[in-house]
Amino acid sequence: MLTLALPKGRLAEESIELMVSKGWLEGKPDPDSKELIYRDPKGRVRILLVRSQDVATYVEQNAADAGIVGWDVLKEGGYDLLLPLDLGIGKCRLSVAAPNGWNLSSGKRKVRVATKYPNLAREFFLSKGISCEVIKLYGSIELAPLVGLSDCIVDLVSTGSTLRANHLKEIETILESTARLVFNRSSLYSKRQESGEFLDSFVAFEKRL
């Protein structure tokens, strides 16, 4: 049995639908269940539902054989993982956003940036020759510039509706993100047959994108 780590929420739903369509799952887990471990009746896959930022850690530390995780998380964390196949689901973008009237050339000597992506944020502003102070937050990032905690934010954007609702606008896209299938080195060796079958089915899917 393969153990697969999935991020809770919309990406988990898309990932599970994909695995059902490819025959790896008999059906979807009960959406009302509070259990964080789901064992499929077919006995081929066990699913761990964890925070999106924790998926790569579970895989890297061998608590899961494989995982489906956003490219933004992988780039931020620099994890030692293998075979990041682009599954083409969970599409979004990591962007700089700010209140109307603010832009990257507003002239401040140091920009205050609220984000849960400190490494990618620093790298972006450094590439622009802009000094920045990163304020790490874990949720409600859009609130920070509204109350004077930061000048701008770096956060994931899908439709942009949350930004617009909070009177923020996108300034620039840092990277486009989609979900990637990743394995740890140990599982590709110790569970060679199961990993190979699972990987082959998703390689075929990737080629159809």
Q: What is the pLDDT of residues 81-124, one digit of tens each?
A: 987 789 889 999 999 999 998 988 876 778 999 999 999 999 99
Q: Which amino acid is at 2?
A: L
Task: Give the model's pLDDT for residue 107.
Answer: 66
CATH no. of 2-91+177-207: 3.40.190.10
CA-to-CA distance for 54 and 1, rounded, in angstroms?
Answer: 21
CATH fold of the domain at 92-176: D-Maltodextrin-Binding Protein; domain 2 (3.40.190)
Domain with CATH 3.40.190.10 in the chain: 2-91+177-207, 92-176
The tens digit of pLDDT for each residue in 156-207 reads 998 889 999 999 999 999 999 999 999 998 888 888 888 888 888 877 545 4
The predicted pLDDT at position 209 comes to 43
pLDDT score, position 170? 95
Are 68 and 181 in contact, with CB atoms under 8 Å apart? yes
Encoded amino acid at 53, one letter:
Q
| Greatest C-alpha distance within the chain | 60
CA distances from 64 to 132, 133, 158, 188 (A): 36, 35, 28, 12
Helices (H), the chain: 10-21, 55-60, 71-77, 118-127, 143-146, 161-165, 185-190, 192-208
Given this model, what pLDDT does residue 113 score?
97
Q: Tell me the C-alpha distance between 78 and 64, whole Å.
A: 18
Distance in angstroms between the alpha carbons of the first and the last residue of the chain: 27
pLDDT top residue among 43 and 113: 113
Stretch among 34-38, 151-155, 157-161 having the lowest mean pLDDT = 34-38
Tell me: pLDDT of 39 over 60. Answer: yes
Question: Which of 88, 89, 66 shows the shortest CA–CA distance to 199?
Answer: 66
